[in-house]
Amino acid sequence: MNKRNYYKELENKIDGFQKSGVVPKLLLHVCCAPCSSHCLEFLRQYFDVTVFFYNPNITEEAEYRKRVAEEKRLIEEYNRQVDEKNFEGMHSDEHARKIAIIEGEYDPKEYFEAVKGYEDIPEGGERCRKCFELRLRKTAEIAAKEGIEFFTTSLTISPLKNADVLNEVGEEAARFINEKNAAEIAFLPSDFKKKDGYKRSIELSCKFGLYRQDYCGCGFSKAEREKQKAEEMTR
């Protein structure tokens, strides 16, 4: 079977919307401001974007508060550009639209429940799949509730995350919520790291001085990162 190219699929969908003059609503699940910076710069040209910050996987509350505050600051920056029509240093501006945000509930118990039994699996394995399922099902549920036809996630920008798994989980989440709630939402395929997307997210993080953490989010990933750093020091 041919490997799917999620970036190409997204481009094709955008082409279709452009040709028919449609600006669809999109709920973008975001994990943090640095990862969402490029996704938003790109998507706001083609979609009416609402950000959904739902990350109970960030198990330290202080870290969660820091990340959600940075996300809100980034969105304010982007919306100010639209108000002032000042897009200096941006890649594209012609059709940039303002962005809304919904903050999900923050309860790490939901995360611990979702990954129960998988706590010791290293990053990139089944624990992460469970974590994606939790976050993308909730995103699908909110999209259906808010009447937003598409949803996707900024997580596909990370070179450390498997885009096949994320797209598969996103599509499963859409099916699950459509059956459960008689909704008609769709997961928008994505692989935001492609075409220098990840590189652009680093440039934008520098431009806006965004707080950039060096671990994914849960206490397990923080411990793994700290172990790695300690090993690097002894080399």
User: Judged by CB, which is closer to ligand SF4: 166, or 204?
Assistant: 166
User: Judged by CB, which is closer to ligand SF4: 10, or 115?
Assistant: 115
Number of residues in contact with ligand SF4 under rule CB under 6 A: 11
What does the per-residue mask of binding to ligand SF4 show for 35-64, with x meaning CB under 6 A?
Answer: ----------------------x-------
DSSP helix/strand/coil, 153:
strand
**Contact criterion met (CB below 8 Å) for 167 and 130:** no
Counting Cα atoms < 13 Å in the Cβ hemisphere of 170 gives 25
158 binds ligand SF4 (CB under 6 A): no
173 binds ligand SF4 (CB under 6 A): no
Q: How far is the CB of 102 from ligand SF4 (least distance, A)?
A: 20
Counting Cα atoms < 13 Å in the Cβ hemisphere of 9 gives 14
- For residue 33, give every residue at least 6 positions away whose Cβ sits within 8 Å of its Cβ, in sequence order, or none: 67, 70, 71, 73, 74, 205, 208, 210, 211
User: Judged by CB, which is closer to ligand SF4: 78, or 151?
Assistant: 151
Q: Which of residues 114-153 bind ligand SF4 (CB under 6 A)?
A: 115, 123, 127-128, 131
218 binds ligand SF4 (CB under 6 A): yes
User: Judged by CB, which is closer to ligand SF4: 96, or 128?
Assistant: 128
Scanning 44-125, the segments in alpha helix (DSSP H) are 61-84, 108-114
Q: Rounded to the nearest 5°, which phi and psi values hold at 199?
A: -60, -40
User: Judged by CB, which is closer to ligand SF4: 47, or 192?
Assistant: 192
Distance (Å, rounded) from C-alpha 235 to C-alpha 221? 21
Binding site for ligand SF4 (CB under 6 A): 57, 115, 123, 127-128, 131, 216-218, 220-221
